[in-house]
A and B are shown apart, each in its own frame.
Chain A
Amino acid sequence: MDAAALTSRFPATQDLAGKDMPTFRVAGTDLLAVVSALRDEQGFDLLADLCGLELQGRPVRFGVVIHLLSTTHKEYVRLHVDAVNDRVPSVSALHPGANWHEREAFDMFGIVFEGHPDPRRILMWDSYPYHPLRKDFPLAGIEVPFPAADVAEVTGQKVEPAPMMGGPFVSHGGKLSEGEPSALDQSWTEEKPKA
């Protein structure tokens, strides 16, 4: 890892003196150039991880952390990027593997990746209104409307009920034969109305 080459070529890059691996804070405008320079000139050919982060003690709220790995020099490098106005340029053109990581960072934090080919949510469903990994989102979650509006209109459902009857581990209520032992209270099955 040639840190001097990086900081001299990109003056806005700040060496954070990471304890476990070389760590830099990169300006968002430089990000694509830095990542491609690291890939093509210093051998960091594999994007190990990309994740969002709620920052502390910085002027902006969110940041992105990128871990790059060199399979030839066997070392890692970490890049911190501030998301100014919640925006960061997408590196998925340089590392296609970043595509899903960026979708996840958008899903969880609401960070927008500029130039991303497929900016959709990934873990939550498309109409989900919140970004759950933000610090102001409660652990217990917030109730949201049923995702399928047409179904909710008819059924009046607020949340989707888990299917019980017909599932793989649910047997039919009642006895199949006289000799079969079974619980007296059959209220857990859906065939009998609850008392």
Chain B
Amino acid sequence: MKITKEISIGDVAARSEELRGENMTLNMGPSHPATHGVLRLSLELDGDKVVKCDPVIGYLHRGDEKIAENMTYNQFVPYTDRLDYLAPLANNVAYAIAVEKLAGLKLPARCEAIRVLTCEMARISSHLLGIGVYAMDTGAWTVFMYTFNEREKLYTLFEELTGARFTTSYTRIGGVTRDIPDGWLAKVSAFCDGVERTIDEVDKLLTRNGIFLERTEGIATISKEMALAYGLTGPNLRASGVPFDLRKDKPYSGYEQYDFDVPVGVKGDCFDRYLVRMEELRQSVRIIRQVVKTMPGGAWYAEDAKKIFLPPKAKVMTKMEELIQNFMLVTEGPQIPAGEVYFEAENPKGALGFYVVSNGGGVPYRLRIRGPSFVSLSILPAIVPGNFLTDVASILGSLDFVMGECDR
């Protein structure tokens, strides 16, 4: 039975009460282009305004932490590729440094410089994708084509260096897999020139673009206090005005030798997060240029890492001692002293942390991975409500998360 109620036309308050429907629950994802992977948002909508947002994660949970407890330290390196699969080189480095800290290893300057170089290239690769996809989320298709063009060149460089385009597994505990190939640094320099032109082009396409500004400015503002309370890191934290960058404030792998600026946002809205990433691209190019210019010579693996780093293949085939060492490292794993260590590296998405507990021996007792995307997504229930449904895509893109790292 339909209940009708007589109300006068002038009674606006009564009419709006009459017109209000009930809230609708909408599932966005787990397979939705704007959720960049298998994130599901359970949204409660009043009209097209979001009232409540409940992220449902775990669709990509592989149990990396459980797997790590069942294999040697060296065997886990390829698994780190699959955390933030848009910047595998940086993940490799973060994991390697965490274990090296536990083992008390000191790395030669060349190895550290190579790692800084690869980390910054990974940052450019990740931010190019992040910005390209973000532009697409907000309705600008062209930018994606520009940035993917450059990423393709980066992948060619990665392939020359590591042998793989995507899952690189380049670092080893105590060094890197192989030295830089001849003439590769010149190609990196040439890439830097090209990517700077592309950044300028993207800048012209987006930064003063009316539609893009409408979609991003003043949307989902995260205050400084809120960003700290939710534990945001990386560009998302800096866009809210906290000038904290682990490369500057807790330097690792020789970052203190290089000259670069840390961009900081003012308002902490979606547009600021975009601007911070754009400037980080330029700063990464600046770091790469310095590393290329000052690349030190010498060994690219720690000489004192005999009990951890696999001996050179040529020696394994000809010398008895190296053969035994190789056999022991592959079967038993590198012998890491007992203890615990927590190390965070400034990855493109934020601080990627590894908490390693060792009982001695070749297998970690507990390996905890602190994924920055996991933390970035935990702020969604606080910032999404109050925005329109169309803004959800814009907010998700501005946080620049990746589900491989969130679900682990």
Query: A47 to B231, Cβ gap below 8 A?
Result: yes
Is the C-beta of B25 less than 8 angstroms from some C-beta in chain A? no
Query: B370 to A97, Cβ gap below 8 A?
Result: no
Query: A76 to B342, Cβ gap below 8 A?
Result: yes
Query: B229 to A123, Cβ gap below 8 A?
Result: no
**In the complex, what residues of A have CB within 8 A of residue B229's CB?**
95-97
Nearest A residue to B248 via CB reads A74
Query: B341 to A20, Cβ gap below 8 A?
Result: yes
| Chain B 339-359 interface residues, beta-carbon cutoff 8 Å to A | 339-344, 351, 353, 355, 357, 359
Is the C-beta of B15 less than 8 angstroms from some C-beta in chain A? no
Query: B342 to A67, Cβ gap below 8 A?
Result: yes
Query: B375 to A133, Cβ gap below 8 A?
Result: no
Pair count A-B, CB < 8 A: 90
Is the C-beta of A48 less than 8 angstroms from some C-beta in chain B? yes
Is the C-beta of B70 less than 8 angstroms from some C-beta in chain A? yes
Is the C-beta of B272 less than 8 angstroms from some C-beta in chain A? no
Partner of A100, one of B232, B249, B250, B375: B375
Q: A48 vs B249: C-alpha distance in the bound complex, in angstroms?
A: 15
Q: A21 vs B343: C-alpha distance in the bound complex, in angstroms?
A: 10
**In the complex, what residues of A have CB within 8 A of residue B375's CB?**
97, 100
Is the C-beta of A51 less than 8 angstroms from some C-beta in chain B? yes
Asked whether A45 and B228 contact (CB < 8 A) given A56-B359, A100-B374, the answer is yes
Query: B378 to A71, Cβ gap below 8 A?
Result: no
Q: A156 vs B289: C-alpha distance in the bound complex, in angstroms?
A: 62
**In the complex, what residues of A have CB within 8 A of residue B58's CB?**
122-125
Query: A133 to B230, Cβ gap below 8 A?
Result: no
Query: B378 to A123, Cβ gap below 8 A?
Result: no
Is the C-beta of B66 less than 8 angstroms from some C-beta in chain A? yes
A43-67 to B contact mask, C-beta < 8 Å, 1/0: 0011111010110100000000101
A61-93 to B contact mask, C-beta < 8 Å, 1/0: 000010101010010101000000000000000
| Chain A 94-149 interface residues, beta-carbon cutoff 8 Å to B | 95-100, 104, 108, 122-125, 132-133, 137, 139
Partner of A48, one of B344, B366, B374, B408: B344
Q: A67 vs B231: C-alpha distance in the bound complex, in angstroms?
A: 11
- Of the four ranges (under 10, 10 to 19, 20 to 34, 35 or more), the interface on chain B belongs to 35 or more
Q: A123 vs B371: C-alpha distance in the bound complex, in angstroms?
A: 13
Is the C-beta of B79 less than 8 angstroms from some C-beta in chain A? no
Query: A97 to B250, Cβ gap below 8 A?
Result: no
Query: A123 to B249, Cβ gap below 8 A?
Result: no
B40 to chain A, nearest CB (A): 12
| Chain A 3-61 interface residues, beta-carbon cutoff 8 Å to B | 18-21, 23, 45-49, 51, 53-54, 56
Is the C-beta of B137 less than 8 angstroms from some C-beta in chain A? no
Is the C-beta of B210 less than 8 angstroms from some C-beta in chain A? no
Is the C-beta of B298 less than 8 angstroms from some C-beta in chain A? no
Most buried by A among B232, B355, B368, B378: B368
**In the complex, what residues of B have CB within 8 A of residue A49's CB?**
342, 353, 355, 368, 370
A25 to chain B, nearest CB (A): 12
Q: A46 vs B355: C-alpha distance in the bound complex, in angstroms?
A: 17
Is the C-beta of B32 less than 8 angstroms from some C-beta in chain A? no
**In the complex, what residues of A have CB within 8 A of residue B244's CB?**
71
Asked whether A122 and B57 contact (CB < 8 A) given A45-B228, A49-B370, the answer is yes
Is the C-beta of B63 less than 8 angstroms from some C-beta in chain A? yes
Q: A51 vs B242: C-alpha distance in the bound complex, in angstroms?
A: 25
List, sorted by A's number, 19 A–B pairs whose CB atoms are closer than 8 Å: A20-B340, A20-B341, A21-B342, A46-B233, A48-B231, A48-B342, A48-B351, A49-B370, A51-B355, A56-B359, A67-B342, A67-B353, A67-B370, A74-B250, A95-B231, A97-B229, A97-B230, A98-B231, A122-B57
